[in-house]
Amino acid sequence: MKTRKLRDLEVSAIGYGCMGLSMGYGAAPDKAEALRLLRYAYDLGYTLFDTAERYAMGANEALVGEALQDVRNNVALATKFMIEKSDIGHYSKENLFRHIKGKLEQSLGRLRTDHVELYYQHRVNKDIPVEDIAWVMGELIQEGKIRGWGQSQATAEEIRRAHAVTPLTAVQSEYSIMERQFEADVIPVCEALNIGFVPFSPLANGFLSGKISADTTFKGIDARRVITRFDKDNIKANQPLLDLLHHFAREKNATPAQISLAWMLHKKDFVVPVPGSRNRERIYENFGAAAVTLSRDEFAAIETALSTIKIHGNRTDEDLARLRTLTAE
């Protein structure tokens, strides 16, 4: 596996998103299989493993910690915390620090480690000054409990303000060939400030695998039931994008998913996507995307074609919140 740097943190060029091992895409694999998949990813060469306290109420962190305990020094662990101002009681920076540190200590226990390489604020809370969060992160770095920190779905302004207090290691936000909203300002700010950019859902929740059709159905607690790009009409309307990916996949002896990831890796050398999968073949396929190199002309041809293709549907936190109200069928 080729490596890249998120600021000063060197990791595999493609990381492993662990959420799906516990939640989000219908029935999760049993614990034994999840542990095997994590070790399989490690054995392939993944060194960045991404989880969060909210993934299955901490169970995902516990899986990662158990699977990687004996190779802990060979991997970079990234986890996330979510915080509301109401969680803190009387608001002060000191109380904020105590609350976040308590969350971190619980995550460290589940991860079976005394530190994490990367600690993200899962979503930027508009009621808490980003400068206060950044100050807390600086204190945790001084204590050695985290090596670096990041924001998720942050604006360019929030990144600049936080970075001025405690430099960020990475920003993790949704980004794919279908979701390019952060190209205008966030990614340029990351480049200017030497901050890594870590795309989640880099394969658009599996849409860019090219294996989804209008006849595909999703059941249970599966995010794709409420993500609008998976509406039957939108699947059909997005066929020109899939045709483009299939064309270059044939040209490069690759897969549509690999072309999607290779396109992203070609963009900037500080971009490290974290696709997730519960399928060994897909984990291997994603790993192989780092070896797919696009020439300047090939990349330009993809960009030119993309400029003529309209994307239908998206993924929003508001839509995902509706998943809780759906029946299992």
Query: What kind and span of H or E run contains 76?
Result: strand 76-81
**pLDDT tens digits along 176-222:** 999 999 999 999 999 999 999 999 999 999 999 888 888 888 877 78
The residue from 55, 119, 120, 175 that is catalytic is: 55
What mean pLDDT comes out for the span 296-305?
97
pLDDT higher than threshold 90 for residue 316: no
pLDDT higher than threshold 90 for residue 292: yes
pLDDT band at 138 (very low <50, low <70, confident <90, very high): very high
Rounded distance between C-alpha atoms, residue 63 and residue 44, angstroms = 18
pLDDT higher than threshold 70 for residue 327: no
- pLDDT, residue 254, reads 98
- 55 an active-site residue? yes
The structural domains of the chain, ordered by start, are 3-204+267-292 (3.20.20.100)
For the chain, give the percent of residues with pLDDT over 90.
85
pTM: 0.95
What mean pLDDT comes out for the span 315-328?
72
pLDDT band at 320 (very low <50, low <70, confident <90, very high): confident
For the chain, give the percent of residues with pLDDT over 70.
98
**pLDDT tens digits along 222-239:** 888 888 898 999 999 999
The two three-digit tokens of residue 320, written as one number: 């995902």
**What does the H/E/C string look like for 248-315?**
HHHHHCCCHHHHHHHHHHHHCCCECCCCCCCCHHHHHHHHHHHHCCCCHHHHHHHHHHHCCCCCCCCC
pLDDT higher than threshold 80 for residue 19: yes
155 within 8 A of 178, measured Cβ to Cβ: no
pLDDT band at 286 (very low <50, low <70, confident <90, very high): very high
pLDDT band at 328 (very low <50, low <70, confident <90, very high): low
- pLDDT, residue 180, reads 96
- pLDDT, residue 221, reads 79
Q: pLDDT averaged over the chain?
A: 94
- pLDDT, residue 281, reads 96
Range with lowest mean pLDDT among 216-220, 267-271, 272-276: 216-220
Query: What kind and span of H or E run contains 39?
Result: helix 31-44
pLDDT higher than threshold 90 for residue 315: no
Sort strands 76-81 and 118-121 into parallel, antiparallel or unpaired: parallel
- pLDDT, residue 326, reads 67
**pLDDT tens digits along 102-111:** 999 999 999 9
What mean pLDDT comes out for the span 165-177?
97
Determine the Cα angle at 322 with ends 279 and 201, to 5°.
35
pLDDT higher than threshold 90 for residue 82: yes
Rounded distance between C-alpha atoms, residue 45 and residue 76, angstroms = 12
pLDDT band at 250 (very low <50, low <70, confident <90, very high): very high
- pLDDT, residue 220, reads 78
